[in-house]
Amino acid sequence: MAKEITPPQLLRGMKDILPTDQPYWWKIFDLLRVTARDYGFERIETPILEATSLFTRSVGDLTDIVQKEMYSFTDKSNDNVTLRPEGTAGVVRSYIEHGMLNLPQPVKLWYFMPFFRHDRPQAGRYRQFWQFGFEVLGAPQPVIDAQLILAARSIYRGLGLDTTVQINSIGDPASRTQYIKALQTFFKTKKSELTDEHKLLLQKNPLRLLDSKDAVIQDLLTDAPQIVDYLDEASRAHFVQVLEYLDDLEVAYVLNPRLVRGLDYYNRTVFEVWPTGDEGAQSSLGGGGRYDSLVETLGGRPTPAAGFAGGIERIIMRMKEQQLPPAPLDRPEIYLAQLGEPARKKMLRLFEALRDVDVRVAESLTKDGLKQQLEVANRLGAHYTLIIGQKELMDDTILIRDMENGIQEIIDYKKAVAEVKKRLEKNRASGTTPVTGMVQPERLERYQAAVPDDTAEEPQVNQVGDHDE
Ligand code: HAM
């Protein structure tokens, strides 16, 4: 008996990005490209795989990411390597390694890359996920923090998402140490209410208690000391200025004293973007802040810096929830339909000729039935269908069918390219065909209803004879 083969399956927490989802990705990417250009960012891509030490030194040994979530292994050269869990460390490595310290500062870099964290998968949390990120290296000024928030806000707004900016300052390392002590002292008086896990956190990484979801901790936190009261003077002044810029531009934000972020490299300003109405760091659409010591920590010249990154899958999830439109689908101007092998040969050639003159053309060269092909043309939203049947083959003509009104005309095959070009240009000038060749909103519906409609009227194809199926 033949052995049953188990088909391969996605790894847990991984996701295929199927063709139906691509319009969301195009829309976000296009918006990012334009936004990055406007704010003066240049694109960078760093390798997926980096030395493990890059992340232990930057993200921090005691963070959840390094302790629990990294895909780390020893490769065949015996090097300890990690699938990057975030983008800032790699960008800083690249900045140092390529001597970007010697370029005019600040250096502004943006990215759109996949990341890996072996976390417990749930809605909006994957083990491979994509982030866009903006990093500004070589500028200490608070105006940078404010402009990063503006750039981030402009992206979420541009997509139509309702979001709230949460902001806090965690000061310099010395003020943070003082605050951590105060927090530990406070929680020590509440020890009886803490679980063993909380006690461990209190010892190892007390700041993480601040974003605990635990109801008891939440309750205790109402009376806990707040980090703003421990800020050093310079950090306080910096923070006040950031907020002044935001106030000046009437950017709404929530001062969130518990926002500390889960990565060690931050200092001073930290912020996150949350979906409005679903407040909670678990569904954060993005986060960032200052990391003025990171370049130095990784061996570069002291270089102040700040950045932000947003999660693409979470953005798409929210866009779907809010029923926000993805990018309109690309629509062909011309569709080619043929009946029989000699006609197919002519269409194979015509397809190339039309592409050569920049006509957006589509085909179904594997199909024979005319009805079937016209259905595809309709589904794709093609403006015209060119048809070669037996009669056209004999006369060396071609039938041009206007898919909007069903009107058909016979034209000379040899003049087909010129004639098509002429019509499309005329239509473009009069606005009948979208210049971009994208499906207009009112046609999207037809495009998305990919199921052939049996009740649709039979196409009028009498002129080409009775060669349908
Ligand atoms: P992060 O807060 O760890 O920051 O991640 C930024 C965003 O990535 C999150 O707000 C979320 O939208 C998305 N994200 C994180 N983990 C997952 C996951 N498992 N599945 C889906 N989406 C996820 C950073 O990574 C910093 N490098 C940001 C930064 C840039 N700071 C300065 N520059």
Query: Torsion-angle region of residue 160: left (phi > 0), alpha (psi -120 to 50) or beta?
Result: left
User: What pLDDT score was predicted for residue 62?
Assistant: 84
pLDDT level of residue 371 (50, 70, 90 thresholds): very high
> How confident is the model over 179-207, as a mean pLDDT?
90
Query: Which protein residue's CA is at the shortest distance from atom 21 of ligand 1?
Result: 125
State the SS3 of 4-35.
CCCCCCCCCCCCCCCHHHHHHHHHHHHHHHHH
Largest Cα span, the chain: 96
Task: Say what the pLDDT of residue 278 is.
Answer: 76
User: Which of 22-36, 126-140, 169-183, 420-434 shows the lowest mean pLDDT across its residues?
Assistant: 420-434
pLDDT tens for residues 78-89?
999 999 999 999
Residue 438: pLDDT over 50: no
Closest CA to 169 of 76, 246, 58, 284: 246
- Res. 180 pLDDT band, cuts 50 70 90: very high
Minimum-distance ligand 1 atom for the alpha carbon of 306: 32
Rounded Cα gap, residues 182 and 225, in angstroms: 7
pLDDT at 1: 64
Q: Decide: pTM greater than 0.95.
A: no
Question: Which region among 5-9, 224-228, 318-322, 424-428 has the lowest average model confidence (pLDDT)?
Answer: 424-428
DSSP output for 383-438: SEEEEE-HHHHHHTEEEEEETTT--EEEEEGGGHHHHHHHHHHHHHHHTSS-TT-B
- Using CA positions, which residue lies closest to atom 9 of ligand 1? 286
Kindly state the average pLDDT of the residues 337-351. 97
Can you tell me which atom of ligand 1 is nearest the CA of 119?
19
Q: What is the pLDDT of residues 198-224, one digit of tens each?
A: 888 898 888 888 888 888 998 999 999
Of 11, 54, 131, the residue with max ligand 1 atoms within 8 A of its CB, to mutate for a pocket test, comes to: 131
pLDDT at 451: 31
CA of 286 to the centre of ligand 1 (A): 6
Residue with structure tokens 């605050």?
179
Give residue 433's pLDDT band: very low, low, confident or very high (50, 70, 90). Answer: low
What CA–CA distances, in Å, run from 195 to 155, 198, 220, 225, 270? 41, 5, 13, 20, 28
Name the residue of 314, 317, 318, 319 to mutate for ligand 1: max ligand atoms within 8 A of Cβ: 314
28-63 pLDDT, tens digit per residue, is 999 999 999 999 999 999 999 999 999 999 999 888
The pLDDT of residue 437 is above 60: no
* For residue 460, pLDDT beyond 50: no
